[in-house]
Amino acid sequence: MSAINVGQAVVLGAIEGVTEFLPVSSTGHLKIAEGLMGIPVDDDAVVGFSAVIQVGAIAAVLVYFFKDIVRIMTAWFRGLADREERYHHDYKFAWWVIVATIPIVVVGLAAKPLIQGPLASLWVVAGSLIVGSGVMWAADQMGRHKRGEDDTSFKDAMLVGSSQILALLFPGFSRSGATMSTALMLDLDRVAATRLSFFLGIPALTGAGIYELKDALGTGAGAAPLVVGTLVSFVVAYASIAWLLKFVAKHSFNAFVIYRIVVGLLLFGLLGTGVLNS
């Protein structure tokens, strides 16, 4: 019997789609929802399911930024064959994304027992939501928002890419929150920080989904729930991306900060009263 049924897959897919790219922690929200639905958050099939449906959200990024991705990849392939093309920002940016993904891959493989064990606790999620909120607020206040996407450098990509490790080790911190906060601290404007977060998420999340697929299918996450959850995630994530880019162009991240604190405190309350098990 599948660890997750189709109805639950629809709910979890929608939550993944809404929260994957908003700086509110998709992992945290998925674990909370799983706990409320009585799904064991530390079950191998459930962990694998959560990673696989992220591919739907990544597919939404690929579709939404298709023209940008084609432009960047075209420059990369041209640069491989033509030395002159290697001075093009898009060529360098493609390499930066690839190299900046290495730290999270290394840590993800090395720390997998911790990530899927003690660090998967909802207590960790609650604490990370609140601590991450403080980091995000400070970054938004400290950042001068004066640099655009064309001003990004290799140093920016490496620091922002490496910050994804925070979300990997502390579910609830938020991959988007960590990357956007780091980019803001480096004085990128909010739109540039958000777009950089999207591009850096493509290899990291796609790799995680592919890596977990075999385990997810082999430990009880049925094919039907996986397909449904991934499709729902794609549709909802596409709408979420479009909304977020418009939002950050005119607003600060304060709304997300407040929301994360409320959710974190609520989760502490649910855990403390025994409504949810950690």
- At 139, which amino acid appears? A
H/E stretch holding 176: helix 175-185
Beta strands (DSSP E) in 70-163 are none
pLDDT at 10 over 50: yes
Evaluate the CA torsion angle 219, 224, 228, 234 in order and state its sign. Answer: positive
Q: What digits encode the pLDDT tens for the residues 117-144?
A: 788 788 998 999 999 999 999 999 999 8
pLDDT confidence tier of residue 11, bands split at 50, 70 and 90: very high
Model confidence at 36: pLDDT above 80? yes
**pLDDT for 212-253, tens place per residue?**
766 666 655 678 888 999 999 999 999 999 999 999 999 999
- The rounded mean pLDDT for the chain is 89
For the cut 80, the answer to whether the pLDDT of residue 42 exceeds it is: no
Q: What is the pLDDT of residue 261?
A: 96
Per-residue pLDDT averaged across 94-109, rounded?
93
pLDDT at 166: 92
pLDDT at 149 over 90: no
Q: With pLDDT > 70 as the criterion, what percentage of the chain qualifies? A: 95
- Mean pLDDT calculated for residue range 28-54: 80
Q: Which of 26, 6, 28 is nearest to 16 (CA)?
A: 26
Helix (H) / strand (E) element for 164: namely helix 164-169
| pLDDT tens track for 53-96 | 888 988 999 999 999 999 999 999 999 999 888 989 999 999 99
Q: Is the pLDDT of residue 1 over 50?
A: no
Distance CA(172)–CA(169), nearest Å, equals 9
Global pTM value = 0.86
Q: Percentage of residues in the chain with pLDDT exceeding 90?
A: 59
User: What is the structure's pLDDT at 219?
Assistant: 54
Rounded CA separation 37/150 (Å): 44
Report how far residue 215's alpha carbon sits from residue 204's, in angstroms, rounded to the nearest whole number.
Answer: 18
pLDDT at position 2 is 59
Is 223 within 8 Å of 103 (Cβ atoms)? no
Task: Report whether pLDDT(18) > 90.
Answer: yes
d(CA 247, CA 269) in angstroms, rounded, equals: 30
Residue 177, both tokens: 């929150």
Mean pLDDT over 83-110 rounds to 92
DSSP letter string, 15-69 = HHHHHTTTTT-HHHHHHHHHHHTT--TT-HHHHHHHHHHHHHHHHHHHHHTHHHH
Task: Give 262's pLDDT tier (boundaries 50, 70, 90).
Answer: very high
Tell whether the torsion through CA atoms of 169, 172, 177 and 182 is positive or negative. Answer: negative
Kindly report, residue by residue over 164-184, the tens digit of the pLDDT: 999 889 988 988 999 999 999
